[in-house]
């Protein structure tokens, strides 16, 4: 393989303002200290946590790639997120302002959250939960989801949170793989104006078990008026057991490497993998990056990360990082457009959110609807914006900063993965001069390189494969029950160099800043040029007509592969042109903005794109359509009908030649 060709260039720069820099959490001194002594930096960051037994060894890499961080230290993760803030006199600080989709709300202070978690821990212990047990959590975004995760952590047990949108089959597979002893669910959760059933799905999952199940009890949170079936002896109401539990619970200390959670990732390809994370290193990495990347001032900021707790972003940047830092957060149960399309902006206004973290897919869907919607709300409290999950194209970046960030909020484009545990690449607000569309630099303590297939580093100005060259504290400790698969998937490609292979392409620009190019599996080869999906998509979205796009490579007799694009138009352009006119204009636009080589062979105007439930585009399915194959496995799609509509459209249009 040759390196990835890089075509798109972006010259806008946004240096930090002096006012921001003056009060910034991350300082050049911190970044320099980390660069000079990486292990020393992480040890310092770890010492900001409470250790029951202080560690003496920072990293043990003798059994690589299975790391031990702070191996001889002991701590309790929940104690670090709760009790210690109360003991420091911050018990009255709000931990969560929670808002339900129907408009009900609750605020929980650190003292209240601590009290709830202690009771829940006692209740779980009374049901026989002990250190090392696996507990499946299948809940909507309600305070009980936070309480349950922290109570499990407090006991040294292991949670496996399964996103509430997953089916009975997916839940079943995850329960079985982890051999979960208990499931915590709810009678419903609000989404798009309806209480969707969760308990019924748990019942279906457990009923499918002809050979029995590892699950002894199902704890049910009451969140709706949905009727639920009840299996006597197995099913228990959360409020019955938690309300009756003892109020006092002393947090026991566990080894730093005690497993904290399993999180299954299916991503856009392949069979789910139970990514395993442990305690001390993970909490160090997530709390350090949360402070430094988001410039957290816990006394004054209101932080909102829109991710569901069922995803890694919810684990690291709703639960563990922010709570370890004593942050005040907003937690919202529902969808962005219920009961009206301005719901998120209304919430920012209501709670005076100052730090806002979301995904490019959400930003682009708001762009599609038009800026009048957010413009109707007072968003002046916003001072830092974050992006995660996909490359953010420069146009969406500028829109985000202008419309949501008042034209001045720094945007941190954070690159990381379920497997990395925490943020790996991101600008630091207050230090970095921002480039729209670039994730820019490894965060303090992290070493990244862009390499060719043989592991040699690419030159500046070129694209290649993103690797992590040194171990880091938040790194996955394996795949549950499949250590060989862990080594094979992430560590075998560059075994000789000992690099972690992330599976993403990246470009290093002339300043040495990183530009993420999408999954390497999606790279196209057009007439011998290796083109990334991200750059062509970005070029398409830079046209005022386009809200979203997805690009794939399809077999082509002449060029090997040809670029095929699927495009969603912005609401105000959707009707002003015929699809043929729009597609011709966009093909020409790509050719002028990045070059004829990238001009799509075909462009399809579609109403929706196939996405996973966490909002990532499933290009593999679009490739099936573009190459005329039967569409592959769609079980991880958020909306299965989307592919039906797209393939009908594709079948009706002949290939364009020129």
Q: Is the Cβ of residue 224 or residue 417 nearer to ligand WTA in the bound state?
A: 417
Q: What is the C-alpha to C-alpha distance for residues 97 and 351, in angstroms, rounded to an integer? A: 8
Q: Is the Cβ of residue 373 or residue 467 nearer to ligand WTA in the bound state?
A: 467
Which tokens belong to 171? 């839940």
Q: What is the C-alpha to C-alpha distance for residues 654 and 657, in angstroms, rounded to an integer? A: 9
Binding status of residue 417 toward ligand WTA by CB under 6 A:
yes
Please, what is the minimum distance in Å from the beta carbon of residue 145 to ligand WTA? Answer: 18
Residue 597 DSSP symbol: G
Q: Is the Cβ of residue 396 or residue 603 nearer to ligand WTA in the bound state?
A: 396
Q: Is residue 581 within 8 Å of 624, Cβ to Cβ?
A: no
Q: Is the Cβ of residue 388 or residue 603 nearer to ligand WTA in the bound state?
A: 388
Q: Which of 163, 399, 416, 480 binds ligand WTA (CB under 6 A)?
A: 416
Q: Is the Cβ of residue 276 or residue 502 nearer to ligand WTA in the bound state?
A: 502
* Residues 481-520 close enough to bind ligand WTA by CB under 6 A: 502-504, 516, 519
Binding status of residue 313 toward ligand WTA by CB under 6 A:
yes
Q: What is the C-alpha to C-alpha distance for residues 544 and 534, in angstroms, rounded to an integer? A: 18
Please state whether beta strands 411-414 and 384-388 pair in parallel, antiparallel, or not at all (unpaired).
parallel
Binding status of residue 391 toward ligand WTA by CB under 6 A:
yes
Please, what is the minimum distance in Å from the beta carbon of residue 621 to ligand WTA? Answer: 16
Q: What is the C-alpha to C-alpha distance for residues 517 and 507, in angstroms, rounded to an integer? A: 7
Of 149, 410, 398, 391, the residue nearest 292 (C-alpha):
410
Please, what is the minimum distance in Å from the beta carbon of residue 407 to ligand WTA? Answer: 22
Please, what is the minimum distance in Å from the beta carbon of residue 268 to ligand WTA? Answer: 8
Q: Which of 334, 389, 422, 445 binds ligand WTA (CB under 6 A)?
A: 389
Q: Quick check: bond before 153 cis, omega within 30?
A: no
Q: Which of 69, 366, 397, 415 binds ligand WTA (CB under 6 A)?
A: 415
Please, what is the minimum distance in Å from the beta carbon of residue 155 to ligand WTA? Answer: 27
Looking at the DSSP assignment, which residues form a beta bridge with residue 108? 96
Q: Which of 78, 153, 220, 312 binds ligand WTA (CB under 6 A)?
A: 312
End-to-end CA distance of the chain: 29
Handedness of CA 26, 28, 29, 30 (dihedral sign): positive
Window of 88-96, 204-212, 411-419, 646-654 that interacts with ligand WTA by CB under 6 A: 411-419
Binding status of residue 418 toward ligand WTA by CB under 6 A:
yes
Give the dihedral of Cα atoms 585, 587, 591, 592; nearest 10 deg: 20
* Residues 433-472 close enough to bind ligand WTA by CB under 6 A: 439
Q: Which H or E run contains 32?
A: helix 28-36
Please state whether beta strands 158-161 and 259-265 pair in parallel, antiparallel, or not at all (unpaired).
parallel
Angle of CA points 162, 168, 173, to nearest 5°: 65
Which tokens belong to 596? 């004829």
Please, what is the minimum distance in Å from the beta carbon of residue 371 to ligand WTA? Answer: 23
Window of 21-29, 341-349, 388-396, 644-652 that interacts with ligand WTA by CB under 6 A: 388-396
Please, what is the minimum distance in Å from the beta carbon of residue 568 to ligand WTA? Answer: 19
Q: Is the Cβ of residue 534 or residue 562 nearer to ligand WTA in the bound state?
A: 534
Q: Is the Cβ of residue 189 or residue 437 nearer to ligand WTA in the bound state?
A: 437
Q: Which H or E run contains 352?
A: none
Q: Is residue 399 within 8 Å of 428, Cβ to Cβ?
A: no
Binding status of residue 21 toward ligand WTA by CB under 6 A:
no
Q: What is the C-alpha to C-alpha distance for residues 653 and 602, in angstroms, rounded to an integer? A: 9
Half-sphere exposure (Cβ direction) of 547: Cα atoms closer than 13 Å: 23
Please, what is the minimum distance in Å from the beta carbon of residue 218 to ligand WTA? Answer: 28
Please, what is the minimum distance in Å from the beta carbon of residue 442 to ligand WTA? Answer: 13
Looking at the DSSP assignment, which residues form a beta bridge with residue 356? 304, 385
Binding status of residue 414 toward ligand WTA by CB under 6 A:
yes
Binding characters for ligand WTA, 253-282, by CB under 6 A (x = yes): ------------x-----------------
Binding characters for ligand WTA, 589-618, by CB under 6 A (x = yes): -------------------------x----
Q: Is the Cβ of residue 156 or residue 267 nearer to ligand WTA in the bound state?
A: 267
Which tokens belong to 510? 């002339």
Name 593's Cβ contacts closer than 8 Å, sequence gap at least 6: 8, 539, 542
Name the site residues for ligand WTA (rule: CB under 6 A): 265, 312-313, 387-391, 413-418, 439, 502-504, 516, 519, 614
């Amino acid at each position: 393989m040759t390196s990835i060709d890089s075509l798109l260039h972006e010259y806008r720069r946004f240096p930090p303002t002096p006012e921001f820099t003056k009060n910034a959490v991350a300082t050049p001194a911190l970044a320099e200290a980390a660069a000079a002594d990486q292990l020393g930096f992480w040890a310092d960051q770890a010492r900001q946590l409470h250790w029951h037994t202080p560690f003496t060894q920072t990293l043990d890499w003798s059994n690589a790639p299975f790391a031990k961080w702070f191996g001889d230290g002991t701590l309790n993760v929940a104690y670090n997120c709760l009790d210690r803030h109360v003991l420091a006199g911050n018990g009255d600080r709000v931990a969560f302002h929670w808002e339900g989709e129907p408009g009900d709300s609750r605020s929980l202070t650190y003292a209240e959250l601590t009290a709830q978690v202690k009771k829940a821990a006692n209740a779980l212990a009374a049901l026989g939960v002990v250190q090392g047990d696996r507990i499946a959590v299948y809940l909507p975004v309600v305070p009980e989801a936070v309480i349950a995760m922290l109570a499990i952590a407090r006991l040294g047990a292991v949670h496996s949170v399964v996103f509430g949108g997953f089916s009975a089959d997916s839940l079943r597979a995850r329960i079985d793989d982890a051999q979960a002893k208990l499931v915590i669910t709810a009678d419903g959760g609000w989404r798009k104006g309806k209480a969707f059933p969760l308990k019924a799905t748990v019942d279906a999952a457990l009923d499918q078990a002809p050979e029995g199940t590892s699950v002894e009890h199902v704890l049910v949170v009451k969140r709706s008026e949905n009727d639920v079936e009840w299996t006597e002896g197995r099913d228990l109401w959360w409020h019955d057991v938690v309300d009756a539990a003892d109020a006092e619970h002393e947090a026991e200390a566990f080894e730093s490497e005690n497993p904290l959670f399993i999180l299954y990732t299916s991503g856009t390809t392949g069979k789910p993998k139970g990514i395993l994370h442990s305690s001390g290193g993970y909490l160090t990495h997530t709390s350090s990056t949360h402070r430094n990347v988001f410039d957290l001032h816990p006394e004054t900021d209101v932080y909102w990360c829109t991710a569901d707790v069922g995803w890694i972003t919810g684990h690291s940047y709703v639960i563990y990082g922010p709570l370890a830092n004593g942050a005040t957060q907003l937690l919202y149960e529902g969808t962005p457009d219920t009961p009206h399309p301005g719901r998120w902006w209304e919430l920012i206004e209501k709670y005076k959110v100052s730090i806002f973290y979301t995904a490019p897919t959400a930003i682009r869907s708001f762009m599609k609807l038009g800026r009048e919607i957010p413009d109707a709300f007072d968003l002046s409290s916003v001072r830092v914006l974050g992006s995660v999950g996909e490359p953010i194209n420069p146009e969406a970046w500028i829109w985000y900063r202008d419309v949501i960030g008042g034209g001045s909020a720094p945007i941190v484009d954070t690159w990381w993965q379920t497997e990395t545990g925490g943020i790996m690449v991101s600008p630091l607000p207050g230090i970095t001069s921002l480039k729209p569309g670039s994730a820019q630099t490894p965060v303090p303590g992290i070493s990244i390189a862009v390499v060719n297939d043989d592991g040699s580093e690419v030159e500046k100005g070129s694209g290649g494969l993103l690797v992590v060259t040194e171990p880091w504290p938040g790194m996955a400790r394996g795949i549950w029950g499949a250590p060989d698969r862990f080594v094979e998937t992430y560590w075998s490609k560059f075994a000789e160099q000992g690099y972690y292979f992330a599976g993403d392409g990246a470009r290093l620009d002339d300043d040495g800043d990183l530009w993420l190019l999408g999954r390497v599996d999606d790279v196209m080869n057009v007439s011998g040029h290796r083109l990334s999906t991200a750059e062509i998509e970005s070029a398409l979205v830079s046209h005022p007509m386009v809200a979203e796009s997805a690009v794939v490579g399809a077999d082509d007799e002449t060029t090997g592969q040809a670029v095929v694009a699927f495009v969603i138009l912005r609401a105000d352009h959707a009707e002003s042109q015929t699809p043929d006119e729009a597609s011709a204009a966009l093909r020409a636009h790509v050719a002028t903005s990045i070059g004829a080589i990238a001009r799509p062979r075909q462009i399809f105007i579609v109403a929706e794109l196939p996405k996973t439930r966490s909002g990532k585009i499933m290009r593999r399915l679009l490739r099936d359509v573009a190459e005329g194959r039967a569409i592959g496995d769609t079980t991880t799609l958020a909306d299965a009908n989307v592919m039906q509509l797209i393939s009908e459209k594709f079948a009706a249009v002949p290939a364009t030649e020129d």
